[in-house]
Amino acid sequence: MSGKLLTCCALTLLTFAAGYAAAQAYPAKPVRVIVPFAPGGGTDTQTRAVAQKLTERWQQSFVVDNRSGANGNIGTELVAKSPADGYTLLATSGSFATNPGVYDRLPFDPVKSFDAVVMLAPTYYLVIVPAAAPANSLRSLIDFGKKDHGKLTVAISGLGSPSHLAGELFRTMTNMNFVNVPYRGTGPAMIDLLAGHADLMFCDMLSVLHHVKTRKIKALAISSSKRVAELPEVPTVAEAGVPGFEAISWSAIFAPARTPRPIVNKLNSEINSILRLPDIQQRLSTDGTAFGDNTPDWMATFVKREIEKWTKVAKAAGTRAE
């Protein structure tokens, strides 16, 4: 064996040994989890539930730090430029995969700047309308949208947001006519929909489930591939007349690129264990099986596919953000 090869092997072993030792001691101090959105949203709620369990299990604080702005890009950049030691993590949403197609330039590379750690929960979109809306089915809504010549208004939580692009995919697949009305977040958009000032909205299920169950709004369809237990009477978009339509957002944990793999694996294993707890399943509205084995490698591949999918949708719709 050549001296160069021996040196290479020795360095590899030393790197692995150092990463293993770091993982054994991890976490030796508080961990900061950056959520790049305002408090109270779906990703924030899911992250806090998991962070609490990690704190209890490992006897070290996992502190959620909200750094909102630019559709998640400000907080995401902060993590991308943080030390790759496992003590600064990113908890983000599907905007991580939609932003590359919406922004001309990002201050980080969503693939190269991060290591995938673990998926937390899926977020499906409900196609919702005001309680007094004449449409009682997705088919009647589509028929109306094809005839009204752009008078149908769709409340969107932000230009280029995952829910906005889900609506654009829906528009492409149905040839509907509607006008997007952007708001500063899901909350303000929901207020106008509840008041009947907007005709339609694509909203994540967790944010609107209470309003659907109390009949303050009508859910015409859900964007998942199959019906969900929380709303068994609501058909999927595909069932309701748009074959092939599926849109899933999600929340997930990332670490800065080149974080020692043993630390990534340790986090992945512990969080997957937490996701199987009954109280966490109830809070996250997931049974813990939505992402299969949910390994870092699987997640990295999934995210790359999501980026490709939504970049195509954004370009076809001409959606750009500054």
May I ask the CATH class of domain 124-222? alpha beta
pTM, full prediction: 0.84
Which one-letter amino acid corresponds to residue 39?
P
CATH node for 3-123+250-317: 3.40.190.150
Average pLDDT in the 52-64 region? 97
Q: In the structure, what pLDDT confidence band is assigned to residue 322 with cuts at 50, 70 and 90?
A: low
Ranges in the chain annotated CATH 3.40.190.150: 3-123+250-317
| Pick from 148, 128, 147, 130: nearest CA to 138 | 128
* CA separation for the pair 178, 144 (Å, rounded): 10
C-alpha closest to that of 86 among 16, 131, 23:
23
| Poorest-pLDDT segment among 8-22, 160-174, 260-274, 291-305 | 8-22
Instruction: Provide CATH 3.40.190.10 ranges for the chain.
Output: 124-222
The yes-or-no verdict on residue 259 having pLDDT over 90 is yes
The β-bridge partners of 221 are 127
Please identify which residue in the block is written with the tokens 């005709």.
199
